[in-house]
Structure 1
Amino acid sequence: MCSNKNFDWTRTIRTNTLMLHLVGLWPNSNENYELNLYTIYAFISVVVIMGGNNFFQVMNIFFVYNDLEALASTVFITITYVQTSVKMCFFMQNIGLFKKLLRSLNGTELEPKNEDQIEIVKPSLKFWKTVHAWFFSTAAVTTFTWSVIPLLSKSQCKQLPLAAWYPYNHTISPLYELTYLYQTVGVWYLAVANVHMDTLMVALMMYIAAQCDILCHNFRNFTNSNKKLHDVNRQIIDCVKLHRGILSFGQDSNKFFEMIIVLQFFTSTIILASTMFQLTLVKPVSKEGLLRIMYATGMTTQIFMYCWFGNEVEVKLRKTFFGLGRVKFEKGFDVLSTFVRSRK
């Protein structure tokens, strides 16, 4: 089987890499960050814009910790953005490994060999795109609503999108407008980074599951009795190479996102609990209630992605290594018999 050079695994995630590039998390080089203008921009984006927003929100906690309602209102969103910043640190630290994984996808071992295999992996790619679109849409609507609610408020007091402490009076012009702009840009940067880092990591799981589908397809189709023995030998060797490639890809993927997933599940539990508590303090049909419902929907989708695609990997690995997909026992016996005859 010859490889299909027209297929590119990374085409599916180009939107992710583009959006991450816009917020300073995807350098153009093949490996890590280099000393250039983009690295300077990444520093401004990650440290000044996103990190600065987190710092001022965390500082606000020390001024409202005596008020349970205000504390819960501050903590549930602050934890989200702080864990996003920590996630970015792990992501940037291992960006070279991630790019290595993407290059290996288009290598000889993991590349689809024919049109049938491309058709097999298309449903997985399409489902991932659907989940990505839903998660991004949910995050975008929530972030937009969060950004404009203070502008629609009839209160005489000037409000910001997020509760934060600043070492100056941010209620007077033009400091209010500048602070509002700073917060809004920071919130959007954090939302874009969070969504596309998560969907990029579950894309690795999706790729592993798709590779398992290809391996099962190979097992189902290399027992044609009309094939010569040396062709069967070659196909068995191809299956072994693909199997080893999947294992190597899975191990490297686990190194990349294992700490990130632990952090995500830990913080998401706290965030969802805090959000549910917030819903008990407001009317569900009010703008505050609807905003928190949208926020909880986004967080639930975030956890759903990791659980769903992680389960897909486990299920398909079991099918591949124990059941060989839909391969019948008789067919598998024919494969072994053919292989034994070919070695004589």
Structure 2
Amino acid sequence: MRILNSTFKFLIICGCWRPTSWTSPCKRVMYHMHTVFIFVLINTFTLSQLLDIILIVDNADDFTDNFYMLLAMIVSCCKMLSMLMNRKNIAILANILTEKPCKPLEPSEMEIYNRFDKGAQANMIHYAIMVETTCVCITLTSLLTDFRKRTLTFRAWLPYDYSVPFLYYITYAHQLISLTIGSVLHVACDGLICGLLVHICCQIKILESRLKRITREPDILHDCILQHNRIFDLAFTINEKFRYTITIQFIVSTLVVCFNLYQLTRTVNVKYIQLTLYMCSMLTQIFFYCWYGNEVKIKSRQLVHNIFEIEWYMLDQNVKKALLMIMKRSTMPIEFTSAYIISMNLDSFVGLLKTSYSAYNILQQV
């Protein structure tokens, strides 16, 4: 049994997850080379944009032109680094979800598992379509405007003269390929983290299903206690290993929305559509984190009420004591945070929008 199959395919494409069938030394080396190539590609693109802002930009308009894309590429680099550093932890999390006591056994449990897993993958595919549509729009806009003028899609500082045709084509292709790979990295990382949050919700539902059978199958109590502990372990590990990625995402999303609003008010050309799509993608990105974090909190809190609805009079004292321990622990719901400060919930999403709009107003006055 595998989880988030589509998500891991995206991770394979962007060099963060070697295919399980590639076990030979030759294929291992090939995939390591692929990973290094992707890492160098997106980092050189990001560095060229950063150096442009540091060394060349001297006014507010030039600064805002590419700053939103620089922020997105910085996050892409951070996400790839996070995925590479946490490959062992990702494998451990996937194994926990596919092994006992978390592994679904009954047909009803398999139905719950399939519903949540398919839902998570469907959302990721829709998100990927939105992000890649934005990339296609940026590419087509650039081909129709920048390519004809022999200018680059994005401002960049380069240690050579790209006016030479051959160097221009190489640099132009480098920017567009880096943009596409960066977007795939966003999809892969966001799909993985949000998918794991979905599977925590799935485990809570499976646990509820097992607890309802406890009057008929008292022996299942031991597995329920272990599963409840594993759910908290999963949540803690995800929160711990990806906290920097989530924190950077929150900060960057706020800045991007702010600068995009500013750009939209001063843009009346063909780039208006690409900026709109770009901002929609960024808002969807952070909305997924907040939505699924909110769902985990709600479902972990509802567990207390679902246990309370069990036919307690049919249970012996030891079972009742064990259920009370689970209920007591569930009174403190699972909560995902950004840097242990900002909770990942819908209130935080609304707060992000308000903060971005306030910053936009300040930027307009300046």
Q: In the alignment, is the contact (CA less than 8 A) between 1:215 and 1:239 conserved in 2?
A: yes
8 Å contact 2:72–2:252 — kept in the other structure? Answer: yes
Shift of 1:116: 0.5
1:308 counterpart (281, 291, 310): 291
CA contact (8 A) 2:201 2:299 kept: yes
1:318 aligns with 2:311: no
Give secondary structure in 2 for the equivalent of 1:159. coil
Give the counterpart of 1:122 among 87, 111, 114. 114
Decide whether the 8 Å contact of 1:209 with 1:312 is kept in 2.
Answer: yes
Would you say the 8 A contact 1:148–1:161 is kept in 2? no
Q: In 1, Cα distance between the equivalents of 2:81 and 2:241? A: 12
Q: Kindly indicate whether structure 1 or structure 2 has the higher relative contact order, using CA contacts under 8 Å at least 6 residues apart.
A: 1
| Alignment TM-score, normalising by the size of structure 1 | 0.85
Indicate the larger mover: 253-262 or 153-162: 153-162
Partner deviation per Cα, 1:59-104 (whole Å, 9 max, x = no partner): 1112453221111111111011012102221221111111111112
TM-score (norm 2): 0.80
User: How much does 1:29 deviate?
Assistant: 6.3
Q: For residues 29 and 247 of structure 1, what CA distance do their matches in structure 2 show?
A: 28
- The yes-or-no answer on 1:268 pairing with 2:268 is no
SS at structure 1 position matched to 2:315? helix
How much does 1:53 deviate?
0.6
Tell me, yes or no, if structure 1 residue 42 matches structure 2 residue 35: yes
Equivalent in the alignment of 2:332: none
Q: Which amino acid aligns with 1:328?
A: E
| Aligned counterpart in structure 1 of residue 138 of structure 2, from 138, 146, 166 | 146
Is 2:270 aligned against 1:287? yes
Q: Distance in 2 between matches of 1:259 and 1:252?
A: 13
For residues 252-288 of structure 1, what are the alpha-carbon distances to aligned partners after superposition, in whole Å with 9 as ceiling and x for unaligned? 22222122111110111111111111111112xx421
Whether the 8 Å CA contact 2:121–2:195 is kept in 1: the answer is no
Residues 14-163 of structure 1: matches in 2 within 5 Å?
14-28=5-19, 36-47=29-40, 49-153=41-145, 157-163=149-155
Distance 2:146 2:297 in 1: 52
Amino acid at match of 2:286: I
The residue matched to 1:36 in structure 2 has which SS? helix
In the alignment, what sits opposite 1:253?
A: 238
- Aligned-partner Cα distance in 1 for 2:162–2:320: 79
SS of equivalent to 2:104? coil
SS in 2 for 1:174: helix
1:182 — aligned with what? 174
Partner of 1:3: none
Cα distance in 2 for residues equivalent to 1:323 and 1:144 = 48
With 119-128 and 72-81 compared, the bigger mean Cα shift is at 119-128
What is the aligned partner in structure 1 of residue 355 from structure 2? Answer: none
1:332 maps onto 2:307 in alignment: no
Calculate percent identity across the aligned residue pairs: 22
Structure 1 letter corresponding to 2:8: T
The structure that has the greater radius of gyration is: 1
Task: Decide whether the 8 Å contact of 2:7 with 2:124 is kept in 1.
Answer: no
How big is the alpha-carbon RMSD for the aligned residues of Structure 1 and Structure 2? 2.3
Distance 1:257 1:153 in 2: 39
Cα distance, 1:220–1:114 mapped onto 2, change above 3 Å? same
- Measured in 2, the distance between the counterparts of 1:249 and 1:154 equals 47
Q: Which moved more, 1:20-29 or 1:109-118?
A: 20-29
The match for 2:325 is none
Query: Partners in 1 of 2:125 and 2:47 — Cα distance?
Result: 30
Give the Å deviation of 1:175: 1.2
- Counterparts of 1:259 and 1:199, CA distance in 2: 16
**Where does structure 1 lack aligned partners over 5 or more consecutive residues?**
1-7, 225-230
Q: What is the CA–CA distance in structure 2 between the aligned matches of 1:340 and 1:317, rounded to whole Å?
A: 19
Following the alignment from structure 2 to structure 1, what is the Cα–Cα distance between the partners of residues 92 and 12? 17
| 1:155 Cα offset (Å) | 8.1
Report the residue type matching 2:35 in the other structure: A
Report how many aligned residue pairs link the two structures: 316
